[in-house]
Amino acid sequence: VQAAQLQSQKLEAVGQLVSGIAHDFNNILGAVIGGLTIIQNRNDDPRIEQIATMGQRAAERGAALVRQLLAFARQEDVVAQRVDLAGAIGEISDLVRHGMRGNVALAIDCDDDLWPVLADPTQLQSALLNLANNASDAMNGGGHLHIAVSNCARTSADLPLELDGQDAIRIVVADDGPGMDSDTLQRITEPFFTTKARGKGTGLGLAMVQRFVEQSGGAMRIESRPGHGTTFSIFLPRAVDPGASDPVPRSDETGFNA
């Protein structure tokens, strides 16, 4: 619990810092990119053109990082809606496929009678994309990615303690990549923790996934072993029909009104 508290304090501090400077920084980068574009368009020297292109790419990477930081720092209210997961996953499956590097085989299995979840649909989709992209990066061009979605009844032995007494939906994202040692595994949801090469990773992806799961009143389990792949399991509370009689109060069910 102490670690979780520290983590959330760290997040808050990052949020304040970032929203303070990111806007200005974005404007500065915009001016740099604009200036370099003008240089590119108005000179005949191929060497200068090359240098301008290099500068432009670097500035664009910077702008992408700032965008990600801003998205991360924005403390927008979560707009929870009833989401049909089969539909949401269908919508992003092309994006997932597109993002796969090399020869990664993707399999998606959704139970037929999936319960709806209560979650912010945009955040849900970007969380899944994050997990899929991480898996693809880890497998570095070859392997299997399996996404499976199923109902997990409140009576199920698999239900995490955090969801005690609530029906949930389980989303599993599993790869057969290199896996992680326990030191890495312990740190992966920390903001800015990354093992990726400079410029490739921000270390914010899983911190965002973790926050989304918590804000949705859900839970996340991560299993990984070196040489044996990695499995993320996200449990989200089932959305209860407003009209249906249910012994569990709606506010408890969603975790948003607490």
Among all residues, whose Cβ is closest to ligand ADP? 205
By CB under 6 A, what part of segment 159-178 binds ligand ADP?
175, 177
Q: List Cα–Cα distances, 209 to 3, 49, 220, in angstroms.
A: 17, 40, 9
Shortest Å distance, C-beta 131 to ligand ADP? 7
Total binding residues toward ligand ADP, as defined by CB under 6 A: 21
Query: Considering only residues 15, 58, 203, 214, which one is a binding residue for ligand ADP as defined by CB under 6 A?
Result: 203
Binding mask 216-255 for ligand ADP (x = CB under 6 A): --------------x-------------------------
Shortest Å distance, C-beta 237 to ligand ADP? 24
168-198 burial, b if ≥16 CB within 10 A, otherwise e?
bbbbbbbbbbbbbeeeebeebbbbebbeeee
Shortest Å distance, C-beta 216 to ligand ADP? 18
| Nearest by Cα to 174 from 210, 224, 212 | 224
Count Cβ atoms within 10 A of the Cβ of residue 208 and give its class: 0-12 exposed, 13-18 middle, 19 or more buried.
buried
Establish if 201 lies at the interface with ligand ADP (CB under 6 A).
Answer: yes
Establish if 195 lies at the interface with ligand ADP (CB under 6 A).
Answer: yes
Q: List Cα–Cα distances, 238 to 32, 110, 195, 211, 218, in angstroms.
A: 47, 15, 34, 18, 10
| CB-facing half-sphere around the CA of 172: CA atoms within 13 A | 17
Stretch that binds ligand ADP, among 25-33, 72-80, 84-92, 187-195 (CB under 6 A): 187-195
User: Dihedrals φ, ψ of 60, to 5°?
Assistant: -65, -35
Stretch that binds ligand ADP, among 7-15, 107-115, 133-141, 249-257 (CB under 6 A): 133-141
Count Cβ atoms within 10 A of the Cβ of residue 65 and give its class: 0-12 exposed, 13-18 middle, 19 or more buried.
middle
The residues near 112 (Cβ < 8 Å, ≥ 6 apart) are none
Query: Considering only residues 51, 126, 156, 193, which one is a binding residue for ligand ADP as defined by CB under 6 A?
Result: 193
Establish if 151 lies at the interface with ligand ADP (CB under 6 A).
Answer: no
Shortest Å distance, C-beta 112 to ligand ADP? 28
Query: Considering only residues 138, 213, 219, 220, which one is a binding residue for ligand ADP as defined by CB under 6 A?
Result: 138
214 C-beta neighbours (distance < 10 Å), count: 15
Residues forming the site for ligand ADP (CB under 6 A): 130, 134-135, 138, 175, 177, 180, 184, 188, 193-196, 201-207, 230
